[in-house]
Every structure is written in structure tokens, then in C-alpha cells.
Amino acid sequence: MGIRITKPFQPLTPENLKEVHAYLGVYHLAEPDGAIYYIGYAGGKALFGLQSELQREMDARAGKPTLFRYEVNMQYLSRHEELMMLHVADHGELPERNRRELKHKLGRLSPA
Amino acid sequence: MDYQLTEEQRIIIDTVRKFMREEILPLEEKLDPDAGDLEPEDKARLVAKVKDMGFYGLGIPPEFGGPDLDITTQTLMAMEMTQHRAGLYNPAYGVFGGAGLAQLFEANEEQKEKYLYPTLRGEKSTFFGLTEPSGGSDPARAIQTRAVRDGDDWVLNGAKIFISGADRADFGLLFARTDSDKGRGGVTCFIVDVPSPGFYVRRVVHTLRSTRYATEIQIENLRVPHKNILGEVNKGFAIANDRLTRQRIPYAAGCVGVAIKAQEMAIEYCKIRSTFGGPLATRQSIQWMIVDNELDIRTARYLCLDAAQKADRGEEFRTEAAMAKLVGSEAGGRVVDRAMQIFGGYGMTKDFPFERWYREMRIRRIGEGPSEVQRLVIARDLIGGAFH
């Protein structure tokens, strides 16, 4: 099983959000050029899972073009951790917002 | 066996219970239901509080700064500290500390200075690298990671799996084969600094467990100085085996703690939940579940305390620890399962801790030696090694 999310990004729009169900999982948010600016998760406290988390993210962007992709995953916390470590392995550092939010020591991953 | 609590034990248990109720549970309510840790500032505050109470560093011998408590008392405490959502794999969110890599108590002075003391002070994180893709139940034969002497170093090559904490660690213990002809007598324990060239954490291994995810490690020409051997060359299996035996009592006690909490919740719920015009508590099918739960809990608790008391008396306790681990993990799973049945649909949700306990309790029948290995250990001790 690959450890990267390989599905393509799509625009974060109300129409595309309708296809997202209220499952738990993880997501990437990216600028229109595909640069990931946030790695998030929808956990057990999210009222409508990925749907409500992504809705919240879309509202916060206030119309600014945004790309997203997600993965339904019941092990959202360890998967979220893995995605952050992968990002550091690939890009050398975390997205700024993740860096700000992270309160614990992030692990090191050396994907093959 | 006399399992009457002493006055001191009663006071300690009451204190821990109060601490859990007043400090841990309110914080846990605010966390994600799968969370494995408290917020760092909350944890630091509670660690300071536990240190003031004199309980910090459970499992650490008093000469190294741990509390002067016998194994029986620590087992009783473990049964209290696990009675919350994350309790099975992170009792009280780690604010009572712990021995970490207990094997380092046997290290030489230089190794203690560099690795043990900083670990006990909470300055260094560790991992325990035993299990390999070739198997974990029979480490003596399954270990294929090889170490070859090269001057003052050893060069290691191989792979490890289901290793918790390797990605965040400062160092860890890695077990490797140093003599291919000797089976369990050909395994050596190395203290490995990480990150190091040749040590790669390849991926997170996602399991049923929410707390402390596991990782897969690849080792390619990793150089480890000879002075980093823990103990002696080819004597590493005894180090691993000692940990596995010691771990079984608190591991089993954790299962009992969760089972006690699940039973408490089930009893409370069956009195207030009505079906067909009467509370669940009046239904014989429910009463029998509650009775079966209690039998499971008391049997497991008795075996845990029996093993702990033998260990405290300095007697051989391998069989008793295996019995406690076997019964504790299996009984704990049954109790959580019955409690979920009593709670019905709510028992399946993340609103309650059962679904997490159910997932994590399933691992307990595998982790630290599966049920089948515990039976093997018990049979070997009862019948004699010659028949195995």
C-alpha cells in the first residue's frame, strides 16, 4: 500500500463538497498551483466529519481559490501524523499553519 | 493468597482514584476520542503534581529515583490508572512516568550516564526494537537482522516492524543476530543512537490502536560501536525475555482496569435504560452478562495479584505472569464486548469509550506474547521443557 495520497486535487467548491460524506479522515489543502498549505483531519469531535471540516476550511478562505483532496480513514490521527512526516521528508519542513499548531515532537520518516 | 489490601495500599488507591476522577477525566472529555496524549502544558502540570504526591516513576527502582512501592501496589495502581478512554495504552496519559527501557538498569556506568539517566529525567525518548517481519512470537529464532563485527564497530542489516516510538526516539535497543548457529544464544542487544546513517523509519504501521502508532524500520549498514552492546555478545535474548516476563503483570492489570470501568458503566446503564416497559437490569439475559463480567474481572484480578505477590516475594513468577496476561487480555475483551452489547447502538459510537477499548483490547491478545505463547509458557512450566 502506498503511503502518499495520490488522488488528484479538486477545487474546494460547494458543488465538490456535496460529494464529500460525513466520514472521518484526513485531507490536504493546496493553493491553486498545487502547493500544500495545510494537512488536516476530521476526527471524532467533527460534527459531520470531513464534510463539516472542509466546509469550515472553505468558509475561512472566503472565496480564495483552493484545492483539496481527502482520504476516508478511521485511523485519522496516526494517518495525519504520517502525512505530516511525509511532507517534511518531501519538502524539508511542515506547512506554516501545521508548524504553528503542532504541539508535540514530530517523528522522522524516510519513505523508501 | 491474601489479597486483602493493606491500609497503605488502600490510601494509595483512593488517592490515585481521586486523581484520575478530578484531573484526568475532565481533560480527556475535551480531547479527540482517539487522542493519545494530553496537551503538553496539562501534562507538565500533572507530572509535577504526581511528583509532589511521591508516585512519579512507577517501575523505576527506588535507588534510581522511583517510588518505593512493591509490585503488588503498582499492579493495584495500574488497575486504577487505566480506567479511562486512553487508559489501555497510555494509562493516566503517562503522568505517572515509567521505567521506559528497564533493561538499561543493567547497563554499565558509562551507558547509564549517557542513556539511562537522561531517559529517567524525561530528556530522551526510546524504542524497543525486537519484532521483525519474520515474526514476533518466537524472537529467538525469528530474528534475522544481522550484526557483523568490523573493527571497533558492528555493522547491522535487517528490518523491524511494529516498533513504537522509533520515529521520535533519541536512541533505542535493537536486537540482532551475532551468531547464526546458536538460536536464542546468538542474539545481541545494541543501544542505537538515532537518527543515524543506515537507520530508516520507512512508514507508520496503522493498527487498531489509537495511541502510540507503530513503525517499520529498515537497517542498512548501520554502524554501532562495540561499547554500545547492552550486556554481553550473544546474551541479548535474556534481556528481551526478561522484559517480556516483567511486562506481563502491568499489561494484564491494564486489561483488568478497563474491564472494571466497562462493567461499572454497564451496571449503571442497565439500571436507567428501559426496554419493553422495564429497565434492562430486570432482564435475566442482561443480569447474566453482568455476572459473567464480574467472574471474568475477579478471576483476572486474582491472577494479576497472585503474580505480583510472587514477584514481590522474590519467587519465580513466569507461569503466574503468563496466566495473568492470558486471562487478563481474554477476559478484558469479553467484558468490553458484553458491555457494548448492553449499551446497544450507543456502545458502537465514539461518544463512549467502548469502541476504542474494543479495538485496543483485541491487540492485547497478541501484544507482549500472544495467548498461544502464554499457554506454551504455562505448559512448559507445568509439564517440563523436555516435552516441548
Complex confidence, ipTM: 0.91
A40 lies within 8 A of chain B by CB: no
Please list every residue in chain A whose beta carbon sits closer than 8 Å to the beta carbon of residue B204: 3, 78-79, 81-82, 85, 109
Q: Do the Cβ atoms of B64 and B120 come closer than 8 Å?
A: yes
Could you tell me which residue, B87 or B243, shows the higher pLDDT? Answer: B87
Placement of cell 471540516 in the chain: A53
Q: How far is CA B62 from the centre of its chain?
A: 21
Cβ atoms of B115 and B386 within 8 Å: the answer is: no
Percent of chain B topping pLDDT 70: 97
Write the residue in A3, A44, A106 that is nearest to B203 by C-beta.
Answer: A3
Burial B138-168 (b: 16+ CB within 10 A, else e): ebbeebebbbeeeeebbbbbbbbbbbbbbbb
- Quick one: CATH architecture of A10-101? 3-Layer(aba) Sandwich (3.40)
What letter would DSSP give residue A6?
A: -
Going by pLDDT thresholds of 50, 70 and 90, the confidence category of residue B379 is very high
d(CA B175, CA B101): 13
**Over chain B, what is the mean pLDDT?**
93
Distance (Å) from the alpha carbon of A61 to chain B's nearest alpha carbon: 25
Spatial CA neighbour of B72 closest among B86, B58, B85, B62: B58
Residue B301 has pLDDT above 70, yes or no: yes
The CA angle B255-B368-B352, to the nearest 5 degrees, is: 30
Q: What is the pLDDT at residue B3? A: 75
The structural domains of chain B, ordered by start, are: 7-103 (1.10.540), 126-230 (2.40.110.10), 238-387 (1.20.140.10)
The chain A residue lying nearest B198, using CA atoms, is A110
Using an 8 Å CB-CB cutoff, list residues of chain B that contact chain A: 32-37, 39-40, 125, 166-168, 195, 200-204, 206-207, 210, 213, 215, 218, 350
Confidence band for B27, pLDDT divided at 50, 70 and 90: very high
User: What are the sequence ranges of the domains in chain A?
Assistant: 10-101
- pTM for this prediction: 0.93
pLDDT in tens, B265-280: 999 999 999 999 999 9
How far away is chain B from the Cα of A20, in angstroms, using its nearest Cα? 20
From chain B, the residues in CB contact with A81 under 8 A are 204, 213
| pLDDT tens column, B206-220 | 999 988 899 999 999
A residues 46..85 contacting B (CB < 8 A): 75-79, 81-82, 85
Judge: A45–B167 Cβ closer than 8 Å, yes or no: no
Q: Alpha carbon of A84 to those of A58, A87, A93: distances in Å?
A: 21, 5, 9
Cα B199 from Cα B176, distance rounded (Å) = 14
Answer whether A82 sits within 8 Å of B39, measured CB to CB. no
The residue written with cell numbers 552492546 in the block is: B229
Strand-pairing partners, residue B190, are B174, B229
- Are A42 and A24 in contact by the 8 Å Cβ rule? The answer is yes
Is residue B372 annotated as a catalytic residue, yes or no? no
Flag if B202 and A110 touch (Cβ within 8 Å): yes
